[in-house]
Every structure is written in C-alpha cells, then in structure tokens.
Amino acid sequence: MKKREFYYPSADGKTQIHALEWRPDGDPVCILQIVHGMAEYADRYDRLARFLSDRGILVVGHDHLGHGKSVGENHPYGYFCHENAPDVLVEDVHALRVRQQAGFAAGESGSADRQAGSAARQAAAERPQPPYLMLGHSMGSFILRNYLCRYGEGLCGAVIMGTGMQPEGLLQISLRLARILKALQGEKHKSGLLNALAFGSYDRKISHPVSAMDWLSRDESEVAKYNADPLCGFTFTINGFETLFTLIDRLYEEKRLAGMPRRLPVRFLSGEMDPVGDYGRAVRRVYDSFLRMGMTDVSMKLYENDRHELVNEADRDRVWQDLYEWIMQTVQTGGRPGKEKD
C-alpha cells in the first residue's frame, strides 16, 4: 500500500484542497471516495483506509474547505467561502472524482505503470475503469446526498453513514437565525448560540459523560484523541452553520431529489445511539424516503449501542468488515435490489 497526499484547486477559485490517496499494491478492485464530517479531516480515516487498501480497494478523500489543510488564507476553521458554499462543497467532491477517474483513463493505475513508460501506460489505459463508490459521514453524508442528486450517474454505490433529517420547520427557523446573526455579527463570527442549538442536547442520553463529545463514540480513548486534536472539534462560523443548514434543507426539494439515479445501490449505516440520526428514527425516515422516491437497491444497518462515529466505535472492526463486504458484493453483483433492513 502506498499513501500519498496532493492538492487540487477548489471551486471557490482561491483555495487549494488537500487530499490523500491510499493505493493498494496491484490493480484496485474499486475506488472508494470518503467525504468526511464536520470539524474533522480526511486523515482521521487512515485506519479504515489502510484496512480497505490491504484488501485491494483504493481509498481517496479530501479535506473540505475550512477543515484540515484546506483552510483559505485569512479564514478561520469552520468557514467555507463567501459565495455559493453548498455548491462549492459538492463541486470539490466531484473534482476529486474526476481527477481520480481521469488518472486511470490516462493509464496512471499505479506507480509501477508510471515508471515503466508509455507501453505500460497504454496497456493500463485499455483496462476498464475500476468501479467508483462514495462514502459520506455526518456532514459528509448531507454533502453526498446533495452530490447524488447532481452527479450520481456512473457511481457503483454510495454509503450514507451517520446521517439524519432535521424537521423542515426547524431548519427554516435555524436558517433565518443564522442569516440574522450573519447580518449582525458577520459571516466569520463563531456563534455560541448556533453551536448550542445544534449540539447542546447530544449527550442527554449518556449517563455520566466524561466530556461534551462523548456522543461520538463509546470508546473513551477515541473521544480523548478527538478532544486532543487541534484540527477537530472547532466551532463553526456562522457561514459554516448557514451552509450546513442549507445542504440539509435542499434535501426536501423534490425537484432536486429527482436527479438521483433510481438504481444506485445505497447503504445506510448508523448507530442506534447516534443523536444526529435521532437514535435511528431519522435514519429510518431517510431510508423510507428513498424507497418512496423509487430507489430500487437501498439497505440499512443500525448498530446496537453504537454512537455517531462508527469507524471509531468500540466495535469498529465489525463495522469495517461489514463495509468491506457490502462494497465487494456491490462491485461483484451490481447490488441486490430489495428493501431489507438489517
């Protein structure tokens, strides 16, 4: 396995997006692009990426604007961009996919091919494109769900992890409040009020929480690592919250949802004790809404007792294995149409 980092231009026209690739030895069986969550960064998925790449899956992911190593000059963490931030986030995801697929089309299927010269590159270019899948976690799940409405064609599958669906009326109130605060305090202001409204009740079902972030995982060492990481847990700016609320609000627009490919295999994964998914209830609502839209290959698994970050949970080995098995089954069979819930 070879891990490399690189940069590519953001759709904001100013910032360089930081990205990572975990490339297996030999030709990959498929590509999985990870779309990370709020107040974290792509390299937090290193263990999962290594697990998958050791099994032949090429994994790639980037740091969103305002996260990790993709923070614009003179911008704070948790700030996206001044104009069209929801669309810019989606376009940055797509730019990475286009870059990866263009690399294979050009015959860049591995370092050995690149070093071997034009004949090897030509042979590589004649091999079929590896199947391409995406995984979006938490905020990344909302970005991915928006992405699927615009660019879902051609994907082999999508994993929607740690998602939710806030009530539309509450979203509208939150958006209005964010816009009022933006007018009063500026889009780069970090609002304790918005942060409290978004996360203030997330630990209410946890007995004797050690920290305010215990809702992330039952594994106390993982929560401690998150709390100690300077690139995690920062408060979003008003711009950040307005963008997040807009991404979720757009998922109520039927015209937008009509663009999602109906035969795309989609797998929902969440913890039953995840407050983002309303302890499974909101995840079921989203799952049911996909079925009502006519999606033909949708499945869901809720992990008992697990909280928000499944890939960092106490039973993460099981989560990783389940994810790997679903990816391989989807790649090999093109999905299994049905409405089953695990």
Residues 6+ apart with CB under 8 A from 173: none
Torsion of CA 106, 112, 118, 123, to 10 degrees: -70
Domain with CATH 3.40.50.1820 in the chain: 2-165+255-333
Q: Pairing state of beta strands 16-23 and 57-62?
A: antiparallel
The pLDDT, as a whole number, for residue 123 is 54
Strand order in the sheet with 57-62: 2-9, 16-23, 57-62, 30-35, 132-137, 157-161, 266-271, 298-303
Gap between the Cα atoms of 288 and 267, Å rounded = 12
Backbone phi, psi, residue 86, to 5°? -60, -40
The pLDDT, as a whole number, for residue 113 is 42
pLDDT tens across the length of the chain (342 residues)? 999 999 999 999 999 999 999 999 999 999 999 999 999 999 999 999 999 999 999 999 999 999 999 999 999 999 999 999 999 999 999 999 999 999 877 766 444 344 445 655 555 556 688 999 999 999 999 999 999 999 999 999 999 999 999 999 999 999 999 999 999 999 999 999 999 988 888 999 999 999 999 999 999 999 999 999 999 999 999 999 999 999 999 999 999 999 999 999 999 999 999 999 999 999 999 999 999 999 999 999 999 999 999 999 999 999 999 999 999 999 998 744 344 455
Gap between the Cα atoms of 266 and 295, Å rounded = 9
pTM of the predicted model, to two decimals? 0.93
What is the number of alpha carbons within 13 Å of residue 5 lying toward its C-beta?
Answer: 11
Q: Are 24 and 1 in contact (CB under 8 A)?
A: yes
Name the nearest CA neighbour of 247 among 145, 160, 152, 135.
145
Gap between the Cα atoms of 186 and 193, Å rounded = 14
Homologous superfamily of 2-165+255-333 in CATH?
Alpha/Beta hydrolase fold, catalytic domain (3.40.50.1820)
Written as six digits, the tokens of 91 are: 């376009």
